[in-house]
Amino acid sequence: MLPLKIAERLEKYPLFEGLSCLQAVNLTWAAGQIPAEGEVGKLLKSGDVLMCDVTSKDLWLAVRLEVPAAGAVLLCEIKMDREATVAAFRVCLYRCALEVLNLDDKTGLFSPQDMHLTQNTALTRRLSMYTPSQSQIGGQELEPEWKVGSCFDFVTCYVSGSLPSRAGIQVWEPRTRSGEEINKSPVIRKIRIEELTAKTAPQKLVQSTQVQSQCLGCCLY
């Protein structure tokens, strides 16, 4: 079945790896909609260009989280269900920061409720030149009750944020390792820590020119 074959091929790329219910839908070509049944060989020939939408139950969000109290930037990718709220996403990211940065959550100096998250619009604008996005959030701060799926898609999957300390001082030292154990998790990957400086740029989080160069020419939503 053609949609299944396309989904299997997409899973080879990090953007779609390990996603639940990954599907290629609304397949079209120059002559119009591709029927759900029939033999591909009788309808298409070598060199024909197919267009499709790609859907999934969850998606990878590429995160850049500044933690000024530690002088550190946490970079990672987190897989979140599209139906999860931004509040749940903040808790997941906060727990990741606890482990990787050796943060003591018993001090009361940090809270996921204090975390500020926005779309990384610089990367989104660059990628949107190649692939359209349905997200209309722009660069505004994400509200806790919003659903992940209404804020992000395969193009607008870049998140910038900060976790302030209520004391406003450096209270812990990041670990020298970069979360090796957590990187084995099926929902968190590519964890690393960078020093927070005035020149630290969000563009360092580059998961993908994959979107424009490796996704089979599909329109991704």
Domain ranges of the chain: 2-57, 58-207
- The Cα 78–Cα 14 span in angstroms is 12
CA atoms within 13 A on the CB side of 108: 0
Amino acid at 217: G
Q: Which residue has the tokens 């009750």?
A: 145
- Please list the residues that pair with 74 across neighbouring strands: 65, 193
> At the topology level of CATH, where does 58-207 sit?
Ubiquitin-like (UB roll) (3.10.20)
The pTM of the full predicted model, rounded to 2 decimals, is 0.76
Classify the C-alpha dihedral 131-134-140-142 as positive or negative.
negative
Compute φ and ψ for 26, nearest 5 degrees: 55, 50
Q: What are the residue ranges of helices labelled H in 21-145?
A: 40-43, 86-100, 121-128
pLDDT digits (tens, 9 = 90+) for 141-158: 899 999 999 999 988 889
Question: Whole-angstrom Cα distance, residue 163 to residue 135?
Answer: 24
CB crowding 80-96: b at 16 or more within 10 Å, else e: bbbeebbbbbbebbbeb
Q: What count of Cα atoms within 13 Å lies in the side-chain half-sphere of residue 51?
A: 10
Q: When comparing pLDDT for 173 and 102, which is higher?
A: 102
End-to-end CA distance of the chain: 21
Q: What is the pLDDT of residues 26-83, one digit of tens each?
A: 988 887 888 777 677 777 778 888 888 999 999 999 999 999 888 899 999 999 999 9
Q: Is 190 helix (H, G, I), strand (E, B) or coil?
A: strand
**Predicted confidence (pLDDT) per residue in 119-178, tens digit:** 876 655 444 444 444 555 556 789 999 999 999 998 888 999 999 987 755 555 555 444
